[in-house]
Amino acid sequence: MLTRGRILWAVVALVVVGAGVLGVRLWNGEPYPSSDPDRVADRLEQRAQTLYDEAALPGRPRVESAGVRKSGCQYRGLRGIAHLDDSRRPDVWQLRLDWSAPGLDIAVARAAQERIRERLERRGWTAADGIFGDMGFRFRAPGSGEQVDVMWYQATGNMLVRASAPCGEVPQRFQDSGWHNSGWSPSP
């Protein structure tokens, strides 16, 4: 038989458990999605190749790229306040691939950017606000959080194209392996 005391204890227990779950969620914040760095790197390399092909730079000039690079991501939730020293989570990475073509004049850069912009728009990507280089833009893929930045710098004539994936939590085997991706260069 349920007495008033037992009901009260049950309610108190539920409130304590609920507060604990809510507290953990507030402390840690929204969890990062799982990510496989090898698959993400492959996708970024394919995107970089597509963007290079779409740019259709005259004479196929040399392109500089360090390959896919990783950077740590910030802590989320109230836990981020405890990391005001700007430390990053070792188990959460953002991957990106940059390539650049130096010495382009403004007409060549504008034409290449316009071809890339049209390709992204046809694929349903949306433009993001902001100023990127002397002449540039950022597009985001619907639903995935991936983005592409295309920038041109008048002083150097350098056009930089960056494909990046959002932060994702990586499995332990990648954290311990000293993972890095080999360099990328465009196929002719």
pLDDT digits (tens, 9 = 90+) for 115-130: 999 999 999 999 988 7
* Alpha carbon distance, N-terminus to C-terminus of the chain: 80
pTM: 0.80
Please give the residue that has the higher pLDDT: either 4 or 158. 158
As a whole number of angstroms, the distance between CA 50 and CA 32 comes to: 28
Closest by Cα among 155, 167, 165, 160 to 51: 160
Say if residue 56's pLDDT is above 90.
yes
Q: Is 142 exposed, middle or buried (0-12, 13-18, 19+ CB in 10 A)?
A: exposed
CB atoms within 10 A of CB 13: 10
| Fold for the domain defined by 32-175 | TBP-like (3.30.2030)
Give the start-to-end residue ranges of the domains of the chain: 1-30, 32-175
Strand partners, 92: 169
